[in-house]
Chains A and B, each alone.
Chain A
């Protein structure tokens, strides 16, 4: 598909080599000194949790972002892609998770937009375009009518059309960003056939995915990023599931070691909330979970394992389709955030920027939001009371803001997180659900958030905390539920609850019939 035979490379030079890549947004480092290299005819899987820097790295390689420091060499020659089109011209093509084609145009028009064949008079040669499109798609095993609208085909077909376009345009490197996220098993196999074919033709392929099985199925080498830094890059043959998960979640060098607080002593015998056979089809399989008063239960698992789904289900942000929930022994129905708030539940979501803060409202307005919603909008909180509440939490949680009326978007990530926490604490909840409370905030602020979690526990709140920072999780949680493939696969507590045990539980192959194991050390 690359047309002419590839020119000989300088001896030993990889197809693409990026060294010392750094990028910061508004002073917050997204990538720090990352090296990455891709060989001809190689599939490299790029792995990492949310916010690890995968997409930033890909966007730098594909020209969407400019790098702050570092250099990129393609076939030994330094390049500096200025735009996506520029990178394409150099030979680096991208296909995004959300297919970035135009469903309102025909398949052929999508393949050739901007480079349509023209007649001698300069008009588009529709017939030739259809013919070329048919021939191009046939090489990918697609026998579809190129004259039909792209939007009438399935996502898998659209994905392959996007790949065909990208490879036809660039032809050296193909970046696939979560290509299988919305494909079924058969469609994924079809896509991987295409990837293997391109690999044989000498392309370098970068694939971002969070499905480990797919990594082992398709990748030749794995590169893992974490918190914007390179953890390592290894041939797949040197890795098994556990070593791969360890690279993704394993211990990071931290200056302070966290003492374990656990908090088992404070747990009362009766659970505050108790989920039985609680689940939602296609999202998370039914699970049982009890959380006592003054207890922190942790949720661990890889991206896409169902951890966020568990949190959303517990809060009623998603509706369960099986199971029961009791609060203090009383059966209740929590099928919407509104009913959850009425039960004294609170939820700080992972995507702070999207689901959490209202960027243009002030710190004060953001803090009183949930309380106001609970009172009903017809009964506004008196301004003096608003100020009192805002000031109390700004002081109590040490939210660093120049003023309570500053729009919250000007605060740092850690302080925004604390403001959202304050919003929910103002409603005086019994049960607090936190999804990745330390994601995307400075390492220094981690300790403050953890201290806050411990304070809240000590005050008798029940907490359910989703986190990929396993070291931190085992420090403040009394139990950790491990998720994999949308199922609760293990529940660890006591001495059995440590990062390596959690990673081992994630890595263990999970037969779908076998029940979740419970490992409790005496």
Chain B
């Protein structure tokens, strides 16, 4: 099979992950166990789910800075309302409706007011964080039989690994996300929008509807991510998950999605998440390194990938330019 330049960044990410994992295993053979692999999935489940939403947003040429705040809001809201006696099933449903509507509202503003997504979602970020503080400034513990049943459900794998409910949910979100991106008209419209919104509009893509749907999806997935985070920590805290949106953006970009939109794969984001998780796991295994090395490693990787994307862009642009001049020279 011929390698498409479209998939080059994804393949590069995949190669880096495989090589990095092999290096880790050669140093700490225990990292090959299902236990480590499953923990990696469980620990990053909430980030992975939010990053799928971020992938859609970035593919469309936008950005969503509100994700971290929405996750915090969701966790506080869930902990407080369940603590007040509402049934968790209702609360979870309600919180998803709220965050989806919040995302849709931001998408509507971006489209109707022709405002840059950066500014609108920045406002959304402050708003959601503020709302979380308004509900509670304390860390609110969460305990309910329904919640406990959800969070403690897992499949035991050979080798002692536990495939937890939230890890399964993340994998399901990635699978559905991939199908939506590649196999639906909505997905095709997202890529079209990220390519060139004017052209997309001339070709009949419903810009407004698609924009609202993209940010609504991101809001929904941030809500889902918040629920997963609440199950994972069994608490709601308004100061939690500060800057998670930036981790999500990093995962998307390391996963090979073009930050300017129009090209990338949902599966790439999954690899991006795994790479981040792998670095964290390595640092835990090593035991002497500061956890800040995670940030440094991610920073280096981001630079690498931005440089890679630029080179690919330049090489394709040069290809087009040479064709164009060839066409002009012949006249």
Set of chain B residues within 8 Å of A165, measured between Cβ atoms: 203
The answer to whether A123 touches B203, judged by C-beta atoms less than 8 angstroms apart, is no
From 310 to 331 in chain B, residues with beta carbon under 8 angstroms from any chain A beta carbon are 316, 319-320, 323-324, 326-331
Contact flags (1/0) for A102-113 with B, using CB distance below 8 Å? 111100011001
Residue of B nearest to A154 (CB): B323
Instruction: Give the chain B neighbours of A47 by CB distance below 8 A.
Output: none
Q: How many residues of A contact B (CB 8 A)?
A: 35
User: Taking CB as reference atom, which chain A residue is nearest B199?
Assistant: A100
**A186-B330 in contact (CB<8A):** yes
Taking a contact as CB atoms closer than 8 A, the residue among A113, A126, A282 that contacts B328 in the complex is A282
Query: Are B323 and A124 in contact (CB-based, < 8 A)?
Result: no
Question: Given A104-B191, A104-B194, A113-B188 in contact, is the A184-B327 Cβ separation under 8 Å?
Answer: yes
B205, A124: Cβ atoms closer than 8 Å: no
Name the residue of chain B whose CB is nearest to the CB of A165: B203
Q: Which of B77-85, B117-125, B178-186 is the interface stretch? A: B178-186
Complex contact A182–B328 (CB within 8 A): yes
Taking a contact as CB atoms under 8 Å apart, the answer to whether A104 and B262 are in contact is yes
CA distance A101 to B203 in the complex (A): 8
Contact present for B327 and A151 (CB under 8 Å): no
Q: Mark A338-356, 1 if CB is under 8 A from B, else 0.
A: 0000000000000000000
A105 contacts which of B179, B192, B198 (Cβ < 8 Å)?
B192
CA distance A116 to B187 in the complex (A): 12
Q: Which of A148, A152, A185 contacts B331 (CB 8 A)?
A: A185
Q: Chain A contacts of B27 at CB under 8 A?
A: none
Interface residues of B in 157-202 (CB under 8 A from A): 179, 182-185, 187-189, 191-192, 194-196, 198-202
Q: Is A84 an interface residue (CB 8 A)?
A: yes
Interface residues of A in 99-137 (CB under 8 A from B): 100-105, 109-110, 113-114, 116, 118, 122-124, 126
Instruction: Chain A residues near B4: list those with CB within 8 A.
Output: 148-149
A124 CA to B185 CA, complexed, in Å: 7
A124 to B319, CA, bound (A): 31
Please indicate the chain A residues that have their CB under 8 angstroms from the CB of B327 in the complex.
154-156, 182-184, 187
- CB pair B328 A100 closer than 8 Å: no
Report Cα–Cα, A148/B4, bound state, in Å. Answer: 8
Quick one: given A155-B323, A183-B327, are A114 and B185 in contact (CB under 8 Å)?
Answer: yes
6 closest Cβ pairs, A-B complex: A184-B330, A102-B195, A104-B262, A104-B195, A123-B183, A114-B204
Question: Can you spell out 28 A-B residue pairs with CB atoms less than 8 angstroms apart?
Answer: A88-B204, A100-B198, A100-B199, A100-B203, A101-B203, A102-B191, A102-B195, A104-B262, A105-B192, A113-B188, A114-B203, A114-B205, A116-B185, A122-B184, A123-B184, A124-B184, A124-B187, A149-B6, A152-B319, A154-B323, A155-B323, A156-B327, A165-B203, A182-B324, A182-B327, A183-B327, A187-B327, A282-B328
Chain A interface residues toward B at CB < 8 A:
84-85, 88, 96, 100-105, 109-110, 113-114, 116, 118, 122-124, 126, 148-149, 151-152, 154-156, 165, 182-187, 282
